Amino acid sequence: MPSFAETQALPFDAYALSPAIREQLQLEHARLLSGCLAEYGMTAVFAGDYIQQVSDDPENPYWFQWGGRPGFRPMDQVQTYAYAQAPGTPWVNGSGFYISSPVNIFPVQTGDPISDAKIAGVLFGPENASIPGSTGPAERLPADEVPRDSRGALPDEGGCYAAIEKKIDIPYIDLRPLESEVLGLALHHDAVSAVNAQWVACMESKGYQYARFDEPMNDAQGMPTREKIDAATADAKCTEESGWPDVFYDVLGAYQRQAIDRQPDLFPSALSAETERLERMQELIDAG
């Protein structure tokens, strides 16, 4: 079986915008949502699969998952950063084979339950203005505390999210269920299971108990520690010894091609929706 190169494209890649464009897509969406929030005197910071959060504390930076394909982390990188992003390298929000999507965008919790309830009431509609209970069910924010606009009106049902979606009027085509199905088929393929068994045995010989090669990268994400670096180093060595990426990505590519062949119009439509959506959001922002 030929080796799979890290830079080699998979079939689904032909129908995906670049991470930089998807970041712009989510930032424009966040900007529109922020404008809607401002009408009710509220502000929020937004997070998403393609929005990199930035720490205000230089002594405690945020560490992101390295953005290369799983199975191809350079040894010199894992020996310093484990599974975290090295300075200047690509990053992803999520770990392992997490399926990123521009659909995922949400407000960052402020830590103040009342403020979070008010933001939720504006973003998702007054019916969602709830204060989480520490031991029981959430408590509904009193109606007179839900933010109102300059006319004294409450947000409409569905809040800013629904209002902005109505203005954009170009919905995403969410491919995550299909992508998840294809990924699951590849992970459980007989050939992949065989090389996974080799990887498991190699990791056991180094003192690590894992059932599958995607587990360490999920468990050891975030700020690197000595323990995470040691586990990632062992993983990198066992990955090279077992050669699971060659087999796995070959199988994954085959399943992706089958999925595209079964629904040939779905993927171009999803790509067009993202592109048209970005153009429409930029028009809305330019129009003020």
Where are the chain's structural domains?
11-286
Examine the pLDDT at 1 and tell me if it is beyond 50.
no
- Structural contact between residues 10 and 249, judged by C-beta atoms closer than 8 angstroms: yes
Task: Tell whether the torsion through CA atoms of 280, 286, 287 and 288 is positive or negative.
Answer: positive
Give 147-156 pLDDT, tens digit per residue.
999 999 999 9
Of residues 204, 283, 280, the one with CA closest to residue 242? 204
Phi, psi angles (nearest 5°) of residue 91: -135, 160
Residue 59 pLDDT: 65
Give 185-232 pLDDT, tens digit per residue.
999 999 999 999 999 999 999 999 999 999 999 988 888 999 999 999
Of residues 76, 29, 73, 71, the one with CA closest to residue 50? 29
Give 31-82 pLDDT, tens digit per residue.
999 999 999 999 999 999 999 877 777 666 677 889 889 999 999 999 999 9
Residue 163 pLDDT: 97
- Structural contact between residues 199 and 242, judged by C-beta atoms closer than 8 angstroms: yes
| Length of the chain as a residue count | 288
DSSP secondary structure, the chain, as one string: -PPPPTTPPPGGGGG---HHHHHHHHHHHHHHHHHHHHTTT----EEETTB----S-TTS----EE-SPTT---HHHHHHHTTBPPTTS-EESS-TT----TT-EEEPP-S-HHHHHHHHHHHH-GGG-EEPPSSSSPEEPPGGGS---TTSPPPPTTHHHHHHHHHH-------HHHHHHHHHHHHT-HHHHHHHHHHHHHHHHTT---SSTTHHHHHT-SS--HHHHHHHHHHHHHHHHHTHHHHHHHHHHHHHHHHHHHSTTHHHHHHHHHHHHHHHHHHHHHT-
Token pair in block for residue 3: 């080796």
The pTM for the full model equals 0.90
